Structure 1
C-alpha cells in the first residue's frame, strides 16, 4: 500500500473512528447494559459514563468538556447519573458496556490497537480534558474490548480538538451544530426554541474544520511513519467495514 501523509491519514481515518463511536453510543444494547448496571435512564448513563473520567465535578464542568450539548440538559443528566454510583464508577460501568459491544462487533486486531495506542500516547492533552481522562483509564489486556476503548480515546481526541477549534474561530457550539448538521441535531443535543440563521457564518465552520484537521495531522505526524499511517488507515477502514457495513 502507498505511504500516507499525516493529512491524508486524517481524511482516511478520523471520520470512521468517529462513526464507530457513534454506532456503539447509539446502540440500544449499550443502553440495556446500562440498565443492567443500574441506570434506568440511558441519557443519564451516557453523560455520567462519558464524563465520569473527569471525577467528582459540577455538571457545568462536564458541559464545558462536552461542549456541544445544551448546558441544562448536561447538568440534569449528569446529576441523575452520578447519583447511581458516583462519577468514576459511572465511567467504569460505561466502559464495561461499550467493551461488551466491542467484543461482539469489532475484529480482534492487535496491530490496529498497537498503532492506535501510539497515536493516543503521542498527543499533547492540553485543553482536552475528556481525551486525557479516557486515555488515563486502564485498558483490558487484549481483544476487541481493548480496541474499542482505544478508539474511544481517539474519538475524544478529535472531538476535543474540534471543540478547541470551534471556540478559536468564534463559533458557539450551537452555531457549529446548526451550520453542519441542522436543527434536528441541535434539538437532539437539548437545544430548544427558535434557532438563529447561521448561514453567514459557514466560513467559520470550515475554518474550524481545517484547524481540527491540522491538529489531528500533527499527532499522526509525530506518532507514525508514512508506511505505518497507511497501515493504520487501512486497518481502520477494515474495522469500519465490520461495524458500519
Structure 2
C-alpha cells in the first residue's frame, strides 16, 4: 500500500473514533466520579493536562481548534479538582476504559500496538507539544486493548497538531478552518463566538492545509513496509468499527 493511500485511509477513522470517546456520556461520567463538575473541566484539564500547569492562553495556543473561552473556562474549572499531571493520567485511564468497552474482541490488538508504537516512536515531535505530551504518557503493558485505544488517541493528537501547523501555513486561522470544514453551527458548538460563513476563497487554503497535513505525516508511515501499511489500515478499520466487545 502506498504511503498517501494509507494516510488517507486511517485519518478519518482515527479522528472519528477519538471524537466518539470524547463526546461519550460514559467518558463524562468518569470525570464526574473523579470530582469534576459537569461541563468541559474534565475534557480540558484531562486532555491538555499533559502540558503541565500552563496558563489558559498557552493551552489555547497549543490546541488551536477550540474557541478560547471554551478552553479557558474548562481549564480553569478543572484546576481546583486535581493537578494537571494527575488529570492527564485520569484522562488516559478514561481513554483505556472506553477502548475496552468499544474495541471489538476479535481485533489483533497486539499487532496493531506493535505497528502503532513504531509510528509513534518515529514521529518528530518538534513544534507538536500536545502530541509530545501524550506520547510521554505511560501505557500499561497488561492492558493491550486499552493500550490500543491510547495509541489511537496519541496518533490522533499527532495528526491534529500537524493539521494546526498546516492550517496556519496555508493562511487560515483555526476559526476559519473550523468553519470551512464543519460549518458555522459546529464552529459555535466548539466554542467559537459568532463565526462568519466561510468565504469561497478560503476553501482552496483549507484543501492545501489538508495536503500539507498528509505530507507532514509521511515520515511516520514511511517506516512501515507497503505490506505493513496495508495491515495497519485493515487493523484501524477493524478496531474503529464501533462494535461493542
Partner of 1:227 in structure 2? 227
Residues 71 and 133 of structure 1, relative CA distance in 2, 3 Å threshold: same
Equivalents in 1 of 2:243, 2:184: separation in Å? 27
Partner of 2:114 in structure 1? 114
Higher helix share: 1
Partner of 2:181 in structure 1? 180
2:21 aligned residue (1, 24, 27): 24
Q: Secondary structure of 1:13's partner?
A: helix
Higher mean C-alpha displacement, 196-205 vs 166-175: 196-205
Normalised to the residue count of structure 1, the TM-score between the two structures is 0.94
Q: CA deviation at 1:194?
A: 5.3
Question: Unpaired segments of 5 or more residues in structure 1?
Answer: none
1:40 aligned residue (34, 37, 40): 37
Equivalents in 2 of 1:88, 1:57: separation in Å? 11
Partner of 1:166 in structure 2? 167
Partner of 1:135 in structure 2? 135
**Counterpart contact for 2:188–2:195, Cα < 8 Å:** no
Equivalents in 1 of 2:162, 2:243: separation in Å? 25
Partner of 2:100 in structure 1? 103
Q: Structure 1, residues 193-244: CA drift from partner, whole Å, max 9, x if none? A: 25254222110000000000111123101x2111111110011111122459
Partner of 2:75 in structure 1? 78
The runs of at least 4 aligned residues of structure 1 exceeding 3 Å deviation read none
Normalised to the residue count of structure 2, the TM-score between the two structures is 0.94
Higher mean C-alpha displacement, 198-207 vs 46-55: 198-207
Equivalents in 1 of 2:27, 2:39: separation in Å? 9
Q: CA deviation at 1:81?
A: 0.9
**Counterpart contact for 2:184–2:195, Cα < 8 Å:** no
Residues 140 and 80 of structure 1, relative CA distance in 2, 3 Å threshold: same
Equivalents in 2 of 1:194, 1:158: separation in Å? 24
Q: Does 1:10 align with 2:7?
A: yes
Aligned-CA RMSD value: 1.4
Higher mean C-alpha displacement, 225-234 vs 108-117: 108-117
Partner of 1:201 in structure 2? 202
**Counterpart contact for 2:187–2:195, Cα < 8 Å:** no
Partner of 2:213 in structure 1? 212
